[in-house]
Amino acid sequence: MVSFVQKLDDSSKPHKIIGVAIIKNDSGQILIDRRRLEGVMGGLWEFPGGKVEPNETVSECIKREIQEELGIEIEVGKHLVTINHTYTHLRVTLTVHECRYLSGIPQPLECDEVRWVSVGELETFTFPEANLQIIEVLRKG
């Protein structure tokens, strides 16, 4: 008996476009948050952001998501990098923008923890695979 294994191409996986914020404070530290344990990729650290909704720009998405998830105000700045990555269960396009922290106290409203860290400290946290490319861009300055 011969068996065939058909590899589904990446287009068969759900695709999410994600707006990602690299939020820096006046000391140059970057805000990261830890995903809730019960969710997808639970317990991993990430740069805050979320899914772009229909009829929403990436900048609008980032500003909205940061307000909803962390309760702070930011200014969305220049585009830093766009990363396309395929996980076993989905494809993501991360559109990453530098952002400036304006006001409010970051709170873990939709995550387990938030932390201000230096670029050098990022490697001590476990991030989803797609975020590793963002860290590399940040290291290079």
25 is in an annotated binding site: no
91 is in an annotated binding site: no
47 is in an annotated binding site: yes
28 is in an annotated binding site: no
108 is in an annotated binding site: no
Residue for token pair 């702070």: 72
Strand pairing category for 91-103 and 15-24:
parallel
65 is in an annotated binding site: no
* Cβ-based neighbours of 15, under 8 Å, separated by 6 or more: 90, 91, 92, 93
Q: What is the DSSP letter of 89?
A: S
Run of H or E residues at 60: helix 58-70
Structure-token pair, residue 65 = 């998501």
Residue for token pair 């344990």: 37
131 is in an annotated binding site: yes
Residues annotated within the binding site are: 35, 46-49, 69, 131
Residues annotated within the binding site for Mg(2+) are: 49, 69
Residues annotated within the binding site for 8-oxo-dGTP are: 35, 46-49, 131
